[in-house]
Each structure stands twice: as C-alpha cells, then as structure tokens.
Amino acid sequence: MFSGYKYKIGMAWLISVFVLPLPFIYTFGQGLPALYASQAPAFMFGVIAYVWMLLAIYIGTKPKWIDRLIGLPMAYMIHGILSLVAIILAFLHKEGSPSAGLIKLTGDYAFYLFVALAIYSLVFMAGWLTSRISILEVIKKNLEKLFKHELSVWLHRLNVIATILVFIHVQLIDYVRANLSFMILFYAASMFVTASYAWAKLKDDSKGYKGKLISNQEIAPNIRELTIRLPKKRSLRLAPGDYVFISFPNIKGMGEPHPFSIANAVGSDKLVKLVIRGDGDFTRGLRNVSAPTDIAVDGGFGMYQSVIKDNKAKQLLIIGGGIGIVPLLSVVDGNENIETRFFYTVTKGTPFIYQDRIAQWQNRQNFQAYCQEGRFQNEQILSILPKDMSNFVVLLGGPANMGRHWKKILEKAGVPVSHIYYEEFSW
C-alpha cells in the first residue's frame, strides 16, 4: 500500500540519504579540477556531510508537514542518525583532503564542535538511542541533575554555529567558488534552511499561540492535569492522539517548549487537557505554576489519527501502559463511532488515571476496556484479534520496551505492519 506509514518512512530515508545529496555530488564532481581528482572521495564525504547537517537543522524547526507525514519521533531519529554519520564523513573528509590557514581553521573548529555536541546529544537529546542502551539512560538520569533541559536546548543550537563555520570554510576554497552549478545549489540550500530556521525562531508565535492555563491540579501522586484555554481567533489543528509543545513565557526556567500529549478530543470550547508526570526539571516545576497564567501552545503534532484515517479503521485495538495512555484517551474520546478494545496497564501500586471517563465509555455498545496491574499476557491480546484485518488498527502507547514487545508479537500474529502504530515519545 503506497500510502502506508512504512512506505512513507522508506521514502523519507531514501530522499534523505540519496536524493538530497545527489545533485550536490554531481555538480561538485563535474566542476572539480583534474588536479584534485585523487581527493575526490574525501571532498564528496564533506559535501554529503554538509547536506545532512542542513537537513538536521531543518528538521529541528519541527515542520508540521513532516510530522503529519512520518511523525516527529521518526524525523528526529533520521535527524540523529544522519547527524552522527555526517560527523564520520566529516572526519574522512578532514583526513583525506589536507588544508591550511583559515580553510583548515574553520573546518577543524566546525568538526570539533560537531563532535562535542554529538557526544552531548547522544546522552541528552537522542531518546531513540538512550531508550535502547541502558548505560546511556543511567548516565542521562544522573547528569540531568546538573544539565537542565533549557541548557541542553541552547547547547544543541551550537550546531547552527558549527554549520556556519562550514559555510565559511567552503567560501574560502577558490576552485569550489569557481564551480557555478555547485555554488548555486550550495547557496540555495543554505539560504532556504537559514530562512526556515530564522522564521521558526523569530516569528511572533515561534513558541506557539498564546493561551491561558486555567487549571493545574494533581490528580494522582506526581501526576498533574493542566487545563488550557486556547485563543478562539487562532485555531490549532489538534487531532485525537496529538501532542503539543508548551512553555511559560513569563516564568523563569520554563520558557523552552516541551512536548506533552493531549488527553481529550478538543471541541468548540477550545479546552485542552494535558496529563503530565513529574519526571524532569520542567515537569516537576509545574507544581509551582499557579493558574491562571499565560502559556504558549504549539501543535498539533502526532500520527495516531492519520493512521486511523489511512487504514479506514473500523476496529481499534488500543494498548497503553502508565502515563503513555494519555494520547490514547483522546483517541477514544474522538473516535466514538469506531469499535474499540482498550487495554490499560500500570505497574503495581501505581494508580489508574481517568477511571471515571473509562467507566463512562463502557456504556458505549462498541467499547470494551480491560484495566489491570502488570503486563497483559500475550494470549489475552491475541485472543481478540479479528479474522479480517483489512480495517483493523492497533495503537500503542507507553514505555519503549512495552511498545516494541507488542509490535513484535502482533506482527508475528499476522497484523499488517502498516496497521500498527507506536509513537515512541522519547525525547
């Protein structure tokens, strides 16, 4: 199915890895003087690295069209992996094409800055990696006491400085400047990303539309519910299952946007409910935020409703664990006409949230909820799979190990890969 999620991911990787660098490689190779032919591979490595760094900066602006196509978590994974490979290519470029003077200085400074930021980002920014390597997760949790999230965001932005150094580095090479076709592409791509980054950071609503936090209450130990009223004149496109980035422009230390899932289907009242567990410095700081107060909201982001729509879902299987149930609650809230089996698990001693809402949904003829402490057995889930899976969709939410487990089990049971979606909320 060419509109399937896996197909879109495949196309995203194909375009990122091959299609985008290709015209740069071709034009550079066509204009390279014969004198430097022996260094051509090293030069190409540098060209590819620059293209991928530009792509990483562009993805960092959170383009909504990319999110609705493949989801920001997947886009950030592409961003992270290509950035790391780009540093390896930059090293090969550095070693294979000796230089001197200011050319060498700008290139070396950019490379060392990229390496330092890559090491830092592997621990603090790459949730897709730390969730898979336990030692990195331990290091992250310990260092987070010193390096707050806002500092991490600002340090990550030094990638822009490093990319500017590479831009200057290229300008200093006379035979590259003489390659008109390549330089047209080089300037066009650089200016496009520069303009996109500047627009994302400097526009009036760069951190979202101004809303009002009207309620902030603890609904369970270490879990808070925030109720936000959105401006009626500005409509955010929020679909069930989406998440938004929020920040508090008037509160010190809480001015950088953080992503949180919405727990309700947003209606004409423009009320958004967020349910947040206090895991980090920002989330723990929410206990000190008094309502009413100004809040910036940017969104929506997310793929849950897109997967439902793409597969013309008539049956939903929802499996959620812990705080990961939050976006799935809004999916249930906003898709009352779809037959739904809802499995919700928490660790022993952890409270369920919104039990009253779940009990109310049980009155629907097409809804059945199963809530328990501890993981569901494979047989409990597999026993309710339908024979006809053409309009059957599975949505997962929760810890990484849980999500990956059920994806593997359900794929083996014959559920089409494109009908299973897990939004790994790990950054």
State residue 11's pLDDT score.
93
Q: Could you say which of 2.40.30.10, 3.50.50.60, 3.30.450.20, 1.10.10.10 is the CATH number of the domain covering 209-301?
A: 2.40.30.10
Q: What are phi and psi of 167, to 5 degrees?
A: -60, -45
Give me Rg for the CA atoms of the chain. Answer: 24
Give the pLDDT band (50/70/90) at residue 205.
confident
- How far, in Å, are 21, 51, 84, 97, 147 from residue 94 at the CA level? 19, 16, 15, 6, 31
Q: Which two tokens stand for residue 179?
A: 């390659």
pLDDT digits (tens, 9 = 90+) for 306-322: 999 999 999 999 999 99
Q: Give, for 344, the enclosing helix (H) or strand (E).
A: strand 339-346
Sign of CA dihedral 214, 266, 365, 397: negative
State residue 261's pLDDT score.
95
**What ranges do the domains of the chain cover?**
5-202, 209-301, 304-422
Alpha-carbon 349 to chain mean position: 31
Give the pLDDT band (50/70/90) at residue 135.
low
pLDDT digits (tens, 9 = 90+) for 386-398: 999 999 999 999 9
Nearest to 74 by CA among 89, 87, 62, 57: 62
pLDDT digits (tens, 9 = 90+) for 281-314: 889 899 999 989 999 999 889 999 999 999 999 9
72-96 vs 5-14: helix crossing angle, rounded to 10: 20
Residue that has been written with the tokens 């100004």 in this structure = 294
State residue 21's pLDDT score.
97
Strands 209-220 and 293-301, sheet pairing: antiparallel
Alpha-carbon 411 to chain mean position: 24
State residue 131's pLDDT score.
56
Sequence-distant contacts of 7-16: CB under 8 A, at least 24 apart = 7/418, 8/69, 8/70, 9/70, 9/74, 12/69, 12/70, 12/74, 12/75, 12/78, 13/78, 16/52, 16/55, 16/78, 16/82
**357 pLDDT above the threshold of 70:** yes
- Side-chain half-sphere CA neighbours of 76 within 13 A: 19
DSSP designation for 231: P
**3 pLDDT above the threshold of 80:** no
Give the pLDDT band (50/70/90) at residue 206.
confident
**Euclidean distance between CA atoms 114 and 109, whole angstroms:** 9
Average pLDDT over residues 80-102: 92
**Euclidean distance between CA atoms 408 and 410, whole angstroms:** 6
- How far, in Å, are 305, 315, 413 from residue 311 at the CA level? 10, 10, 18
Strand locations in 234-281, DSSP E? 243-247, 258-261, 271-277
Q: What class does CATH assign to 304-422?
A: alpha beta
pLDDT digits (tens, 9 = 90+) for 27-80: 999 999 999 999 999 999 999 999 999 999 999 899 999 998 899 988 988 988
**Euclidean distance between CA atoms 53 and 197, whole angstroms:** 13
Q: How many CB atoms lie within 10 A of CB 218?
A: 12
State residue 280's pLDDT score.
80
- Say yes or no: domain 5-202 is CATH 1.20.120: yes
Q: What rounded mean pLDDT belongs to the chain?
A: 89
DSSP letters for 127-178: HHHHTT-HHHHHHHHHHTTTS-HHHHHHHHTHHHHHHHHHHHHHHT-HHHHT
Residue 73 contacts residue 421 (beta carbons within 8 Å):
no
State residue 241's pLDDT score.
95
Residue that has been written with the tokens 């010193």 in this structure = 146
**Euclidean distance between CA atoms 409 and 381, whole angstroms:** 10
State residue 138's pLDDT score.
65
Give the pLDDT band (50/70/90) at residue 153.
low
Residue 370 contacts residue 301 (beta carbons within 8 Å):
no
DSSP designation for 268: T
21-31 vs 40-59: helix crossing angle, rounded to 10: 150
Q: How many CB atoms lie within 10 A of CB 10?
A: 12
